[in-house]
Amino acid sequence: MEEINVTQAARNLSELLNRVVYQGASFELTRGGKRIARLVPSGHAKEVKVADLNALFARLLRLDEDDIEVFEQDISDSDAALAPDRDPWA
């Protein structure tokens, strides 16, 4: 991993980003000789295939009956609290 001071990085940010994106380069940014940050490729988010969604949803936590009732009441209460004001001109 190449070291570069933040002043140089600021002056050459576009070039550094291109190297990160297209060459997979990584940089340690320094200030006053101390490492303060890294500039690295972000990687790619894990892709989920549509065919795998059922298995993904099956692993999610499920609410029990009491939690469902409380959740429904919370939604109902918030709907009532957030009801739009009536238009006096309608």
pTM above 0.75, yes or no: no
End-to-end CA distance of the chain: 66
CATH number for the segment(s) 2-39: 3.40.1620
Query: Mind listing the pLDDT tens digit for each residue in 16-62?
Result: 999 998 898 999 999 999 999 999 998 776 777 888 888 888 888 88
Domain segments of the chain: what residues? 2-39, 50-81
Query: Mind listing the pLDDT tens digit for each residue in 55-88?
Result: 888 888 888 888 899 999 999 888 888 767 777 6
Report the candidate in 27, 10, 11 with the shortest Cα–Cα distance to residue 19: 27
Dist CA 34 CA 59 (whole Å): 44
